């Protein structure tokens, strides 16, 4: 048995007071003389023995009363089984994991509700403490102060799920900041109530707990369960036109062990369901659903993927935005331009295109920043600033069409095309070879998929002919070739996977070099090149991203963009680099009280005008149903004796288990009861034993 306040044991000296009173009670007795005292001697002898017994009992009960009372003030207890124990005088910091993975259920109770119940019971052990802290994933300002158990109980009832998962290293640093301010020397104790999800807690092997602090891990009892979430969404074609069939591909994944059969996937466009598909997912497996749709209006359209998956529901929706029929910006540069103005006519007769034509000698290279497609027609050579800006344009994802001049400069063009991946250029010297017909294009090539009508016709009559002025080594795709196998139109990607497409024609558009520009193939080919030049749309963003890049037009370096959703307005940390707006997404602790980043659609505004519509979703890290077990946690924290891991504890016996293992068994209540019993016994002796 140990004592919490052993200094009170000096109070045992008070036992000497009743002993002294008993030993030094020198009261004198009066003598009474009688004629016959034989009978009185017998009575007096019996009374004296009875009185002596009464005095001894009173002395015993008084002494025991004082002893029990003193021991009660010293608060005796049986030491706990754990070597750590709990400090009744230090600071106690409690972390409650309120991430979305705590929506999981055990016996029809959510993990968050179970953890909240355990936390409330734990506060009962510290009901008289005044140095308590409650930390959640919100990292709000009110979590920086200490309070009483009653104050924390009021806060516990208001805890909701937070969209920002925190690593346990971040949580520990958060708690250490408070400990350093209020009780830096310890001893302090930390409690972590969590499901210990492997995808969010971070690298626990690198987490070292200060020896002046004691850490208690309370893992929730996790069970393998299914959970389906959207892994990725992409369009089959980056260019969406209204009233045309389009395909959206949705890859869904099951992070649980249990398989899912025939799960309906629904596609909504502007709150209207437009398509549905079903998928079957094995445990730890994935599947892709293709959903066909069309849009009836231009502009930004709000898309949403939904399905029913229980009990984890926070990731049952995925928001995205598509832009229907965006304007394709075409920049036409020329030195030798045909009299018929074929390029200008192709891109000038459709409102879908925004075309600008300039002489290559007078072009402002700043126009490249807003262009999707650049067409070079009849340039004798490409050099200087024009060449460097064109190379940068292609590396950053822009598309380039090269139509050669009648007499190309072999040296200048060879170097430029080699930088774009088309090496081995050879120019034809006069006299040029005779005109040759083109071979029929391969209809199975994705480039021609929607150019030809689906008929049983196997060939194309009246194919165009051409006189090539140069040849090159083909790295990419041969779209059109001459009958002798010489390439006429090729498509290749320059600058790696992030680079743009380069299309090279073998001959000019002049009639003396062939009739490709007058043929029915020319317009759909040029349209398809322009359509493929549209940069792939970023349909959605994740709150887990630290920064996002958004392409904007006509932005000044001092422009201030806002993100607006309903009544929420946020001005993120941002900077403008050319046509790129780089924004840092705020975290939960950087928002004002009452603000919350919810998944959905946000307007990107500049000076009160909506520039773009953006979709944001929560990251899928919390969708991974894989958790640390108590035995795994023990192996990780081996060598740190100040860390204790509980097994899965049921709600009813959590406090008792914690008290026995760490607080020991308190005995002061029993000594108070014993003191009262001895005091009552003394009263009974005095009242009933008269003699």
CA 400, 415, 530: angle at the middle one, nearest 5? 5
Q: What is the 3-state secondary structure (H, E, C) of 249-265?
A: EEEEEECCCCCEEEEEE
CB 62 within 8 A of CB 102: no
Domain end point (choices 509, 533, 557): 533
**Range of 419's domain?**
328-533
Angle, helices 384-395 vs 410-419, to 10°: value is 30
Could you tell me if 100 and 142 lie in one domain?
yes
Domain end point (choices 511, 533, 555): 533
The mean pLDDT value for 679-689 works out to: 83
Residue 455: band (very low, low, confident or very high) from pLDDT cuts 50, 70, 90:
very low
Encode pLDDT of 554-565 as tens digits: 777 788 999 999
d(CA 325, CA 353): 10
Alpha-carbon dihedral of residues 47, 52, 54, 60, nearest 10 degrees?
A: -170
CB 181 within 8 A of CB 218: no
Examine residue 227 and state whether it is found in any structural domain, yes or no: no
The mean pLDDT value for 103-111 works out to: 83
Examine residue 612 and state whether it is found in any structural domain, yes or no: yes
Examine residue 285 and state whether it is found in any structural domain, yes or no: no
Residues of 402-438 as b/e, b for ≥16 C-beta within 10 angstroms?
bbbbeebbeeebbbbbebbbbeebebbeeeeeebbeb
Could you tell me if 437 and 480 lie in one domain?
yes
Q: What is the 3-state secondary structure (H, E, C) of 434-457?
A: CCEEECCCCCCCHHHCCCCCCCCC
Could you tell me if 474 and 553 lie in one domain?
no
The mean pLDDT value for 613-628 works out to: 90
The mean pLDDT value for 658-679 works out to: 79
Could you tell me if 157 and 47 lie in one domain?
no
Q: Which residue has the higher pLDDT, 491 or 17?
A: 491
Which range, 26-40, 638-652, 668-682, has the best average confidence (pLDDT)?
A: 668-682
In the numeric block, the tokens 């158990």 are attached to: 149
Q: Which residue has the higher pLDDT, 210 or 588?
A: 210
In the numeric block, the tokens 């052993």 are attached to: 6
CB 107 within 8 A of CB 650: no
The mean pLDDT value for 582-591 works out to: 78
Examine residue 487 and state whether it is found in any structural domain, yes or no: yes
Could you tell me if 527 and 550 lie in one domain?
no
Q: How many CB atoms lie within 10 A of CB 204?
A: 17
Could you tell me if 529 and 555 lie in one domain?
no
Q: Which residue has the higher pLDDT, 489 or 383?
A: 489
The pLDDT score that the predictor gives to residue 173 is 92
- pLDDT of residue 330 exceeding 80, the answer is yes
The pLDDT score that the predictor gives to residue 378 is 93
- pLDDT of residue 290 exceeding 90, the answer is yes
- pLDDT of residue 28 exceeding 50, the answer is no
Q: How many CB atoms lie within 10 A of CB 560?
A: 11
Distances in Å between the Cα of 37 and the Cα atoms of 43, 50, 173, 245 are 10, 20, 91, 132
Q: What is the 3-state secondary structure (H, E, C) of 348-364?
A: HCCCCEEEEEEECCCCC
Distances in Å between the Cα of 314 and the Cα atoms of 232, 266, 303 are 16, 16, 17
Q: How many CB atoms lie within 10 A of CB 203?
A: 10
CA 165, 166, 171: angle at the middle one, nearest 5? 155
Distances in Å between the Cα of 403 and the Cα atoms of 392, 395, 516 are 19, 20, 12
Structure tokens at 657: 């288990």
Examine residue 9 and state whether it is found in any structural domain, yes or no: yes
Examine residue 563 and state whether it is found in any structural domain, yes or no: yes
Which range, 43-52, 101-110, 145-154, has the best average confidence (pLDDT)?
A: 145-154
Closest CA to 228 of 194, 262, 178: 262
Which range, 30-34, 567-571, 685-689, has the best average confidence (pLDDT)?
A: 567-571
Residue 47: band (very low, low, confident or very high) from pLDDT cuts 50, 70, 90:
low
Encode pLDDT of 229-253 as tens digits: 999 999 887 778 788 888 999 999 9
d(CA 639, CA 323): 56
Structure tokens at 157: 């009832």
Could you tell me if 127 and 162 lie in one domain?
yes
d(CA 555, CA 612): 13
Encode pLDDT of 348-400 as tens digits: 877 789 999 999 988 888 888 889 999 999 998 898 899 999 999 999 889 99
The pLDDT score that the predictor gives to residue 430 is 79
Which has the minimum average pLDDT: 214-218, 431-435, 505-509? 431-435
Could you tell me if 128 and 215 lie in one domain?
yes
> What's the structural domain count of the chain?
4
- pLDDT of residue 268 exceeding 70, the answer is yes
The mean pLDDT value for 220-232 works out to: 83
Could you tell me if 186 and 218 lie in one domain?
yes
The pLDDT score that the predictor gives to residue 650 is 57
Domain end point (choices 482, 502, 533): 533
Examine residue 479 and state whether it is found in any structural domain, yes or no: yes
- pLDDT of residue 18 exceeding 90, the answer is no
Task: Give the global pTM.
Answer: 0.71
Bridge partners of residue 94, in order along the sequence: 134, 191
- pLDDT of residue 318 exceeding 50, the answer is yes
d(CA 293, CA 246): 5
d(CA 373, CA 337): 18
Residue 20: band (very low, low, confident or very high) from pLDDT cuts 50, 70, 90:
confident
Assign residue 511 the CATH number of its domain.
Answer: 3.40.50.880
Average pLDDT, the chain: 85
Could you tell me if 356 and 478 lie in one domain?
yes
Examine residue 117 and state whether it is found in any structural domain, yes or no: yes
The mean pLDDT value for 413-424 works out to: 90
Assign residue 101 the CATH number of its domain.
Answer: 3.40.50.410
- pLDDT of residue 480 exceeding 80, the answer is yes
- 178-183 long-range contacts, CB within 8 A, separation 24+: 178/91, 178/93, 178/133, 178/144, 178/146, 179/91, 179/93, 179/213, 182/91, 182/131, 182/146, 183/90, 183/91, 183/131
The pLDDT score that the predictor gives to residue 50 is 75
Closest CA to 501 of 545, 542, 446: 446
Encode pLDDT of 121-178 as tens digits: 888 878 777 889 999 988 887 888 888 888 898 888 888 888 778 899 999 999 988 8
Could you tell me if 172 and 68 lie in one domain?
no
Encode pLDDT of 533-557 as tens digits: 987 778 999 988 889 988 887 777 7
The mean pLDDT value for 172-198 works out to: 85
Could you tell me if 486 and 365 lie in one domain?
yes
In the numeric block, the tokens 């077990």 are attached to: 629
The pLDDT score that the predictor gives to residue 26 is 45
d(CA 399, CA 375): 9
């Amino acid at each position: 048995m140990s004592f919490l306040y052993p200094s009170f044991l000096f109070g045992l000296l008070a036992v000497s007071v009743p002993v002294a009173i008993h030993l030094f009670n020198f009261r004198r007795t009066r003598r009474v003389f009688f004629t016959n005292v034989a009978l009185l001697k017998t009575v007096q002898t019996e009374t004296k023995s009875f009185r002596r017994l009464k005095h001894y009992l009173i002395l015993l009960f008084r002494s025991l009363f004082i002893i029990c009372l003193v021991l009660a003030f010293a608060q005796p207890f049986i030491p706990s089984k754990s070597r750590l124990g709990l400090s009744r005088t230090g600071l106690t910091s409690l972390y409650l994991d309120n991430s979305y993975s705590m929506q999981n259920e055990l016996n029809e109770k959510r993990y968050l509700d179970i953890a909240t119940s355990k936390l409330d019971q734990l506060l009962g052990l510290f009901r008289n403490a005044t140095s308590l802290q409650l930390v959640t994933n919100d990292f709000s300002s009110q979590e920086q102060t200490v309070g009483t158990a009653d104050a924390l109980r009021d806060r516990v009832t208001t805890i909701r799920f937070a969209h920002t998962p925190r690593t346990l290293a971040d949580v520990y640093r958060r708690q250490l900041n408070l400990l350093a301010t209020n009780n830096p020397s310890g001893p302090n104790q930390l409690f972590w109530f969590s499901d210990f999800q492997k995808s969010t807690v971070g690298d626990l092997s690198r987490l070292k707990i200060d020896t002046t602090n004691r850490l208690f891990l309370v893992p929730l009892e996790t069970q393998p369960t299914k959970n389906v979430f959207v892994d990725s969404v992409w369009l089959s074609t980056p260019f969406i036109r209204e009233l045309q069939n389009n395909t959206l591909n949705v890859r869904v994944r099951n992070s649980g062990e249990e398989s899912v059969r025939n799960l309906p996937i629904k596609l909504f466009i502007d709150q209207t369901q437009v398509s549905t598909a079903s998928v079957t997912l094995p445990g730890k497996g994935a599947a892709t659903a293709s959903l066909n749709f069309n849009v009836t209006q231009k502009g930004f359209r709000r898309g949403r993927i939904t399905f029913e998956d229980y009990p984890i529901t926070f990731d049952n929706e995925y928001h995205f935005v598509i832009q229907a029929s965006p304007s394709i910006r075409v920049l036409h540069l020329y030195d030798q331009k045909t009299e018929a103005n074929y390029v200008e006519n192709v891109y000038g007769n459709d409102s879908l295109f925004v075309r600008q034509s300039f002489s290559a000698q007078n072009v402002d290279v700043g126009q490249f920043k807003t262009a999707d497609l650049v067409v070079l027609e009849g340039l004798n050579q490409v050099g200087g600033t024009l060449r460097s800006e064109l190379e940068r344009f292609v590396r950053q994802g822009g598309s380039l069409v090269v139509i050669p001049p009648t007499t190309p400069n072999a040296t200048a063009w060879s170097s430029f095309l080699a930088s774009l991946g088309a090496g081995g250029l050879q120019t034809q010297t006069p006299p040029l070879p005779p005109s040759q017909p083109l071979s029929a294009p391969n209809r199975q090539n994705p480039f021609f998929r929607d150019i030809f009508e689906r008929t049983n016709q196997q060939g194309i009559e009246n194919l165009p002919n051409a006189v090539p002025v140069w040849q090159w080594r083909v790295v990419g795709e041969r779209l059109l070739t001459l009958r002798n196998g010489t390439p006429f139109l090729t498509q290749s990607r320059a600058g790696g996977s992030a680079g743009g497409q380069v299309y090279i024609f073998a001959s000019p558009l002049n009639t003396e070099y062939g009739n490709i520009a007058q043929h029915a193939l020319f317009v759909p080919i040029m349209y398809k090149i322009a359509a493929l030049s549209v940069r792939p749309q970023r349909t959605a963003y994740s709150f887990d991203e630290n920064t996002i890049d958004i392409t904007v037009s006509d932005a000044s370096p001092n422009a201030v963009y806002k993100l607006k959703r309903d009544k929420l307005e946020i001005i993120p940390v941002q900077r403008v680099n050319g046509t790129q707006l780089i924004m840092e997404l705020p975290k939960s602790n950087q928002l004002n009280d009452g603000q919350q980043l919810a998944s959905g659609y946000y307007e990107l505004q500049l000076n009160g005008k909506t520039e773009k519509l953006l979709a944001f979703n929560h990251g899928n890290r919390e969708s991974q149903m894989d958790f640390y077990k108590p035995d795994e946690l023990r192996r990780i924290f081996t060598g740190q004796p100040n860390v204790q891991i509980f097994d899965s504890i049921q709600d009813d016996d959590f406090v008792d288990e914690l008290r026995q293992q760490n607080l020991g068994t308190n005995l002061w209540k029993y000594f108070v009861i014993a003191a009262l019993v001895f005091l009552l016994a003394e009263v009974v002796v005095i009242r009933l034993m008269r003699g």
